[in-house]
Amino acid sequence: MASNSELIDVLVTLGDDHLILGHRLSQWCGHAPMLEEDLSMPNMALDLIGQARNLYSYAADLEGRGRTEDDFAYLRSDREYRNCLMVERPNGDFAHTMLRQLYFAAFMKPFWERVAAGSDDRLASYAAKAVKEVSYHVRHAGEWVVRLGDGTEHSAARMREAVDALHPYTDELFTVTQPMRKAIEKGIIPDPKDIKDDWMVTINLVFNQAFLAVPEVAFPQQGGREGLHTESLGHLLSELQYMQRAYPGLSW
Amino acid sequence: MVTALDINTSRERARAWAAASVVPDPEVPCVNVEELGILRSVDVVDGVAIAKVTPTYSGCPAVLAIELAIEAALLDAGFEARIERVFSPAWTTDWITPRGREKLKAYGIAPPVDGTSSRMELFGETRVSCPRCDSQQTEKLSEFGSTACKAQFRCLDCGEPFDYFKCL
């Protein structure tokens, strides 16, 4: 299955972004600032984890070695994860979480739209579904960024802190790995540089209403795509994988 | 030319559809899988009923329960059953039948508003009628509700909070 190895790698990379961000959002369950948000974040988490399951299952089928989605999620170490660093960042305050969601969703929406029209039928069918879900995420996160940025002096200051903390991580969304390059050439996924304009339009639209400025980034943060993560991912995985690590092969 | 075999097959298919289509949605039990538009087709090939089911959301936790219930219903009707999960074309609330919409409303859930799926862009607003008093004076409380497919609204006239089945 050598010809599929690039696609498997791309699917797992995408799956990792979605699983890790989904897990981060799920950590808000029971801790949100209000009941409505206590529902919204697990709801978005469910979308992301559902998308991750589709991606991992497809990778497992292509690989044909008997692994399942669970093997990808529960039995790989941090160095084997390929998610971008932004999604593993600790949740921080609500401003951080909503801004991170906006950054990610504003990227994934045009990404999935193009994958849905791309050359791989199975991935396209997952993408068509994901487009609808991520549209809600853009809208929900965008509305919160405006509400906080254009809110009180205090909320605006917290929002600006979030922008300063997270913007350096956005560059990594647009990096292209070797396997991605192959998938781009085959028309399966878009070249991220072709969706940068769409991403900027969304970010500018929200930032203008939120009275936020897009900062200059001197040192973009990256490494996740090569498996070089921040210490946060290890802590996250120790929680996410606890059951399978403590009781290998456990099922119910 | 219609052969006896064709008639037999279409009769079997109708019987399998009748058995599968009445399975209720576990989270919104007032509507069944046909009315919700998630049962896409039922075919009978060599005595095996093949039901194609599509999820409403990628992460819908009810998908497996729905598939098992449909399988059980087909087995009960005397078929060997196979369930296939299909993603394309992606489910849309446009597939909720008129009867399904009526049932949702009677149940207290505002059915999706026609043609609003295009309004998911940033800051788009949706006008939703109260399922109790039909007032158009409603406000959104939360984009997300008790399940992934619903949002929370409140009627400004009768004061009733209600779920709105989001357009997708």
How many CB atoms are located within 10 Å of the residue B76 CB? 10
Note the pLDDT of residue B57: 87
Within 37-56 of A, beta carbons closer than 8 Å to B belong to 37, 39-40, 43-51, 53-54
Best probe of the A interface among B27, B38, B56, B58, by most A CBs < 10 A, is B58
Which helix (H) or strand (E) segment is B155 a member of? strand B150-155
Q: Tell me how far apart the alpha carbons of residues A199 and A142 are, in angstroms, rounded to a whole number.
A: 12
Contact present, B56 and B148 (Cβ < 8 Å): yes
**Out of B90, B141, B146, closest to residue A129 by CB:** B90
- The 3-state DSSP class for residue B129 equals coil
Q: Nearest CA to CA, how far is B3 from chain A (Å)?
A: 36
Best probe of the A interface among B87, B117, B123, B150, by most A CBs < 10 A, is B87
Note the pLDDT of residue B4: 67
- Span A136-182, pLDDT tens digits: 999 999 999 999 999 999 999 999 999 999 999 999 999 999 999 99
CB pairs under 8 A between A and B: 89
CATH architecture of A2-213+221-246: Up-down Bundle (1.20)
Contact check, Cβ <8 Å, B144/A40: yes
Q: Which of B39, B45, B36 is nearest to B19 (CA)?
A: B39
Note the pLDDT of residue B27: 87
Which residue carries 């219903």 as its tokens?
B73
Contact present, B38 and B57 (Cβ < 8 Å): no
Q: Tell me how far apart the alpha carbons of residues A132 and A147 are, in angstroms, rounded to a whole number.
A: 23
Residues 6 or more apart whose CB falls under 8 angstroms from that of B55 comprise: A50, A129, B38, B63, B85, B87, B91
Contact present, A164 and A149 (Cβ < 8 Å): no
Note the pLDDT of residue B117: 46
Q: Does A143 touch chain B (CB under 8 A)?
A: yes
Domain ranges of chain B: 4-85, 94-165
Chain A environment of B58 (Cβ under 8 Å): 47, 50-51, 53-54, 126, 129-130, 133
Note the pLDDT of residue B25: 93
Which residue in B has a C-alpha nearest to residue A54's C-alpha? Answer: B58
pLDDT at A1 over 50: no
Beta strands (DSSP E) in B22-149 are 39-45, 48-53, 80-85, 109-110, 138-142
Contact check, Cβ <8 Å, B142/A49: no
SS3 letters for chain A? CHHHHHHHHHHHHHHHHHHHHHHHHHCCCCCCCCHHHHHHHHHHHHHHHHHHHHHHHHHHHHHCCCCCHHHHHHCCCHHHCCCCHHHHCCCCCHHHHHHHHHHHHHHHHHHHHHHHCCCCHHHHHHHHHHHHHHHHHHHHHHHHHHHHHCCCHHHHHHHHHHHHHHHHHHHHHHCCCHHHHHHHHCCCCCCHHHHHHHHHHHHHHHHHHHCCCCCCCCCCCCCHHHCCCCHHHHHHHHHHCHHHHHCCCCCC
**CB burial string A13-36: b at 16+ within 10 A, e below:** bbbbbbbbbbbbbbbbeeebeeeb
Note the pLDDT of residue A137: 95
- Span A205-215, pLDDT tens digits: 999 999 999 99
**Out of B61, B88, B142, closest to residue A36 by CB:** B142
ipTM of the complex: 0.77
Q: Nearest CA to CA, how far is A40 from chain B (Å)?
A: 5
Q: Average pLDDT, whole number, for chain A?
A: 95
Four-CA torsion B156, B157, B159, B164, nearest 10 degrees: -60
Q: Nearest CA to CA, how far is A49 from chain B (Å)?
A: 6
Q: Tell me how far apart the alpha carbons of residues A95 and A162 are, in angstroms, rounded to a whole number.
A: 6
- Span B51-80, pLDDT tens digits: 999 998 888 888 899 999 999 999 999 999
Residues 6 or more apart whose CB falls under 8 angstroms from that of A217 comprise: A167, A168, A170, A171
The CATH class, in words, for B4-85 is alpha beta
Note the pLDDT of residue B118: 42
Q: Tell me how far apart the alpha carbons of residues A232 and B86 are, in angstroms, rounded to a whole number.
A: 36
Note the pLDDT of residue B2: 63
The two structure tokens encoding residue A161: 């802190």
Q: Tell me how far apart the alpha carbons of residues B46 and B66 are, in angstroms, rounded to a whole number.
A: 24
Which residue in B has a C-alpha nearest to residue A55's C-alpha? Answer: B58
Distances (CA, A) of A246 to A76, A79, A240: 14, 20, 12
- Span A44-84, pLDDT tens digits: 999 999 999 999 999 999 999 999 999 999 999 999 999 99
Distances (CA, A) of A154 to A97, A149, A161: 17, 9, 11
The parts of chain B modelled with pLDDT lower than 50 are 116-120
Which residue in A has a C-alpha nearest to residue B146's C-alpha? Answer: A39
- The 3-state DSSP class for residue B121 equals coil
Q: Does B125 touch chain A (CB under 8 A)?
A: no
Note the pLDDT of residue B59: 85
Q: Nearest CA to CA, how far is B56 from chain A (Å)?
A: 9
Chain B environment of A118 (Cβ under 8 Å): none
CA-based end-to-end distance of chain B? 41
Q: Nearest CA to CA, how far is A48 from chain B (Å)?
A: 7
Which residue carries 């009526």 as its tokens?
B102
